[in-house]
Amino acid sequence: MTASRPPSSCFADSRPLADARYAGPLAESLAEGLLERFLRYVAVDTQSALDSPTYPSSEMQLELSRILVDELRAIGLDDVELTEPGYVFATLPGTVDGAPTVGLIAHVDTAPDTPGTGVRPIVHRAWAGEPIRLPGDPTQVLDPSDLPALDERVGHDLVTSDGTTLLGADDKAGVAAIVTAVAHLVHDDAPRATARIAFTVDEEVGKGTDHFDLEAFGADFAYTLDGSGIGEIETETFSAYQLKLTIKGVGVHPGTAKGRLVNALKLLADVVAALPRDALSPETTEGREGYVHPFRVTGTTSEATLWLIARDHDDARLEEHVDVVRRLATEIVGREPKASFTLDVEEQYRNMRGELDRHPEIVEVAEEAIRRAGVEPVHTIIRGGTDGARLTEKGLPTPNLFTGGQHYHSLREWASLQDMAAAAATCVELVKLWGERSRS
Ligand SMILES: [Zn+2]
C-alpha cells in the first residue's frame, strides 16, 4: 500500500512544483541536504548484535551517535548530549508559549541478520524503470515486476547498496529525515513547538528503549520515524509474549533404560508437532491474524526447552494463543506421569492502539502534517513492534511514521530520495503544526 501524491491542482493556486516527482516544494528543497546526510550515515557500520552482554550491544553504533552529536551542535540545537546508555538527546527550542514538546525519534543501529559492514550506497538518478542489477552481487536484482512499490517509482532518484550488504535506510532514512528537518527549522521563522530529538541504539535487537529516560527526554508525546512506504502512519502493533516451555523427563543410561527413561526431547517434539499449522502460524497468517511461533529448541534427554513467541493485535486473543501452548503441554506431558513441565510467559510489548485512541489529536496532527507535506496519509498496521509501542506503554504516546525506505533487512533494500524528502518535510510540518495549534 502506497500513497499517491495529491492531484497537481492542489498546488495550482500556490507555488508550482519545479520537479513533479516531489510531494511538494518543501520536500524538494530539503532533498539534496538529506541525500548528503543519508549517504554519510549509511557508510558508518552500526549493526547491533544479538546475545551481547553490553549496552549498546555493539560499540560501533556510538560512532554514528557521536557524529550526530557534533552535527546537531553545529546546526545550533540546545542540550545536545550523548547520554550514558548511548542515546543522543537534543532540543530544538520552540517559539510559541504553551505549545507541547514534540518528540522525534529514530534508531541508529541496523539489523544484525544481514551483512551491514562496508555499505557502499549507489544513487540511481532518475531511474528509468529497468531491473536494477546490483554490481557487488549480480544475483541481487531489484525487478519492478515483482516489487510493486518500486514499479511506482519510475523517474525517482533511488538509493541501493551494491548488493553485498543491506542499505540501512532502516533507520538511517529516519535519522536523516529528522536532522534535515531540524536543520531547516532553525532558520524558519514560522511558529513552532519545541522538538526533542532522540536517536536510540539496539532497536533491531528489541532493546531500543531499555534505558530510555522519559523524564530526561521530557516530551509530551513523540513520533518514531521508522516506517516504510510514503504516507504511512502506524498506530497499531502486535501485543507480544515470549514463552519458554521447559519439559523435564527422566534421564537414564540407554543400556538400562527400559521402563524407566522418559525422553524430554520426544515430548517436546510432540508438542511442536501438535502446534497448529494452517492457522495461528506466521507462515499462514496475515493482517490482524495472530500466531504462536516456535523459534528455538535446546535440550537433552532429561530436560528440553522450547522458546516460542505469541503475537496478536487483540490482547484477549493473545491470551488464548498462550492457552493453546499450555493445553498441548498439559495433554502431551501429562500422558507421562514421571515427566513435568513449566511454562514461563514474559511480556515483550503491547499494542499501542488502545493508548493512542485516548489521544486522537496526536495522530490527527500527524495526518495533517503528512497532507501539508503533499502526501495522502495511509494507515497501516504493524505485524511486529516498534520502539514506539514500548514508549507508549511507558507513558509516551508514540505512533510510527514513514521514512521512504523499502524492503528492509535485505540485500535489496532501497529508498526513494523523493519519498525520504517527503518524510523530512512531514517532520518540519509536524513541529510547526503543534506550534500553530497552541497560538490559536
Ligand atoms: Zn527500524
The overall pTM is greater than 0.75: yes
How far is the centre of ligand 1, averaged over its atoms, from the C-alpha of 170 (Å)? 5
Q: What are phi and psi of 252, to 5 degrees?
A: -140, 150
- CA 151 to each of CA 1, 8, 168, 197: distance values in angstroms, whole numbers, following the listed order: 12, 21, 21, 34
Contact 165, 113 (CB under 8 A): no
Contact 301, 251 (CB under 8 A): yes
Q: What are phi and psi of 245, to 5 degrees?
A: -100, 115
Indicate whether 9 pLDDT > 90. no
How far is the centre of ligand 1, averaged over its atoms, from the C-alpha of 386 (Å)? 8
How far is the centre of ligand 1, averaged over its atoms, from the C-alpha of 176 (Å)? 13
In order, the DSSP letters of 66-101 are HHHHHHHHHHT-EEEEE-TTS-EEEEE--SSTTPPE
Angle 72-75-78 from CA coordinates, rounded to 5°? 60
By annotation, the residues acting in catalysis are: 109, 203
Distance (Å, whole) CA 429 – CA 231: 13
> Three-state SS for 354?
helix
Distance (Å, whole) CA 404 – CA 34: 12
What is the reported pLDDT for 12? 42
Lowest mean pLDDT among 10-19, 184-193, 232-241, 371-380: 10-19
In order, the DSSP letters of 281-310 are SGGG--TT--EEEEEEEEE-SSEEEEEEEE
Indicate whether 3 pLDDT > 70. no
Element (H, E) at 235: strand 232-236
Tens-place pLDDT, residues 405-436: 999 999 999 999 999 999 999 999 999 999 99
How far is the centre of ligand 1, averaged over its atoms, from the C-alpha of 204 (Å)? 6
What sign does the CA torsion over 429, 434, 437, 439 have?
negative
Reported confidence tier of residue 17, pLDDT bands at 50, 70, 90:
low
Tens-place pLDDT, residues 110-130: 999 899 999 999 999 999 999
Lowest mean pLDDT among 13-27, 87-101, 203-217, 379-393: 13-27
Q: Cell match 523517474: residue?
A: 155
In order, the DSSP letters of 247-285 are EE-B---GGG-TTT-B-HHHHHHHHHHHS-SSSSSGGG-
How far is the centre of ligand 1, averaged over its atoms, from the C-alpha of 57 (Å)? 16
Indicate whether 158 pLDDT > 90. yes
How far is the centre of ligand 1, averaged over its atoms, from the C-alpha of 228 (Å)? 9
How far is the centre of ligand 1, averaged over its atoms, from the C-alpha of 258 (Å)? 53
Q: Residue 86: CA atoms inside 13 Å, Cβ hemisphere, count? A: 25
How far is the centre of ligand 1, averaged over its atoms, from the C-alpha of 130 (Å)? 28
Q: What are phi and psi of 124, to 5 degrees?
A: -105, 95
Tens-place pLDDT, residues 268-294: 999 999 999 999 999 999 999 999 999
Rounded to the nearest integer, the mean pLDDT of the chain is 94
Contact 108, 176 (CB under 8 A): no
Distance (Å, whole) CA 435 – CA 192: 4
Exposure string for 364-395, b = 16+ CB within 10 A, e = fewer: ebbebbbbbbbbebbebebbebbbbbbbbbee
How far is the centre of ligand 1, averaged over its atoms, from the C-alpha of 346 (Å)? 23
Whether the bond into 25 is cis, omega within 30 of 0 = no
How far is the centre of ligand 1, averaged over its atoms, from the C-alpha of 208 (Å)? 10
Closest CA to 49 of 168, 213, 207: 207
Percentage of the chain beyond pLDDT 70 is: 96
